[in-house]
Amino acid sequence: MATEHKIDINRRENINKKDVKQLRKEDNIPGVYYSSSSKESAPITITQGEYSKALKSGARIFNITVGGNKQTVLFKSIQYHPVTEKVLHIDLYGIRMDKPVNIKIPVQLTGSPIGVMEEGGVLNQASNEIEILCLPADIPEFVETDISELNLGDSINVGSIVLDENITLVTSEETVLASVTHAMKEIEP
């Protein structure tokens, strides 16, 4: 079950490149707030500290105040710096608790595949998240799937993940989640 966490954000007026650079220098993350019910998006900032607290909370749903109105939001997309991994930009998506939302959640593999333990294979995780549709309160932090039965040459698809009945899988069931393949041999020169 998703827990909620309050985050403090600020509206930002100035949006030119120089100001955005200055914002980032001051340890702020520029972002945008939008929702399905509103045609307009609002430029916002969130401090690096607030963002870190939000992540540590383990919550998927966040409460913010925009222009005096309380809103419930999800982190929709987060852009990272390719080298430093610092957050460059964040999209907050306004949601209603009574309307289903599409969201990506992490997949955790459990168990040690037979093909790796006994047959010298290598585990390849082709996908580490799936897209689901559910009410905001039902968003799981992650889903797990057991891969201990995978032999060399076997693969497991997204369709084999067991989800609660109030969650609909959006990702194609045929999408490969993980496989056990032969280890690449180095050829002696």
The confidence score (pLDDT) of residue 96 equals 92
The confidence score (pLDDT) of residue 2 equals 53
The confidence score (pLDDT) of residue 11 equals 83
CA 10, 14, 16, 21 dihedral sign is negative
Q: Are 26 and 45 in contact (CB under 8 A)?
A: no
The confidence score (pLDDT) of residue 85 equals 84
Q: Average pLDDT of each block of 10 consecutive residues along the chain (189 residues)?
A: 77 76 88 83 90 88 82 90 90 93 93 94 95 93 94 96 96 96 73
The confidence score (pLDDT) of residue 1 equals 47
| 167 phi and psi angles, rounded to 5 deg | -120, 130
Q: Are 34 and 91 in contact (CB under 8 A)?
A: yes
DSSP-based three-state secondary structure for 107: strand
pTM of the model: 0.77
Beta strand pairing call for 10-11 and 42-47: antiparallel
CA dist., res. 8 & res. 70, Å (int): 11
Q: Are 48 and 27 in contact (CB under 8 A)?
A: yes
